[in-house]
Amino acid sequence: METNINIDQFNTIIKSRRSIYPYQYEKSKRIPGNIIWQILENANRAPNHKQTEPWRFTVFTGDGLKYFSELQAGIYKQYSGNNFNEGRYKKLIEYPLMSSHVIAIGMKRNEACKVPEIEEIEATACAVQNMFLTVTAYGLGSYWTTAGITYFEEAKPYFGLRTDDKLLGFFYIGYIAKPITAVSKRQPVQEKVNWIDASDNEILIKKR
Ligand SMILES: Cc1cc2nc3c(=O)[nH]c(=O)nc-3n(C[C@H](O)[C@H](O)[C@H](O)COP(=O)(O)O)c2cc1C
């Protein structure tokens, strides 16, 4: 099928996507709202079983970043118990303040149509990858973290989530201070693929 899409550019976007951390951002420089909305629109295009569209986002920017910084550090301090780590606590305070936007990633269970929970998580992860690739295409930086309060039950209500729902982490976004050119390391895909070609009524398994 003919398309106008430049496949080389598309492959480059996927290959050059990196996790870029808040300390690598231009401190607090704000990305225009229309770009963030495009990132969210693209997240909303993710595949999802039975059209449940389970992804939910809470966006923090401007003064909202200070609110989020205090919120997540406070929840962490109150509920981390013996796992409390001073370094982690500091990062939970500082990272939002270095960023342009932070997006809390939630998965909302659909009451009427219960597809397996894992499929709702999978669909939400597809939405996050759409955000990653859009950020990359704009030349911006982002990373997905599940550290801190992600799996704290007590955190869910602050992001509009209930017991059955899941908080899946936080997506930090910012302008990149110094360009990162190194491609992220991966083992060859051939090591992860079983290729079965049965076109001659004969099954060939090529495992490299
Ligand atoms: C679900 C998920 C959670 C992650 N959580 C963290 C995290 O808490 N802290 C962190 O430094 N990186 C986190 N990462 C980023 C990975 O470390 C990163 O994707 C990996 O090192 C590969 O680097 P790349 O994204 O640049 O290809 C997470 C990635 C995913 C997909």
* Residue 114 domain-assigned (yes or no): yes
Span from the CA of 199 to the centroid of ligand 1 (angstroms): 39
Is residue 51 within 6 Å of ligand 1 at its C-beta? no
Q: Residue 60's beta-bridge partner residues? A: 102
* Residue 35 domain-assigned (yes or no): yes
What ligand 1 atom has the least distance to the C-alpha of 125? 1
What is the phi/psi pair of residue 171, to 5°? -110, 110
Domain interval for residue 119? 7-206
Is residue 184 within 6 Å of ligand 1 at its C-beta? yes
Using the structure block, give the residue that is written with the tokens 């209500």: 157
* Residue 2 domain-assigned (yes or no): no
Kindly report the protein residue whose alpha carbon is nearest to atom 10 of ligand 1.
145
* Residue pLDDT tens, the chain, 208 long: 888 899 999 999 999 999 999 999 999 899 999 999 999 999 999 999 999 999 999 999 999 999 999 999 999 999 999 999 999 999 999 999 999 999 999 999 998 888 999 999 999 999 999 999 999 999 999 999 999 999 999 999 999 999 999 999 999 999 999 998 899 999 999 999 999 997 655 555 554 4
What ligand 1 atom has the least distance to the C-alpha of 128? 31
CATH of the domain at 23: 3.40.109.10
* Residue 1 domain-assigned (yes or no): no
**Spatial separation of the C-alpha atoms in residues 153 and 44, rounded to whole Å:** 25
Is residue 146 within 6 Å of ligand 1 at its C-beta? yes
* Residue 77 domain-assigned (yes or no): yes
The total domain count for the chain is 1
* Residue 158 domain-assigned (yes or no): yes
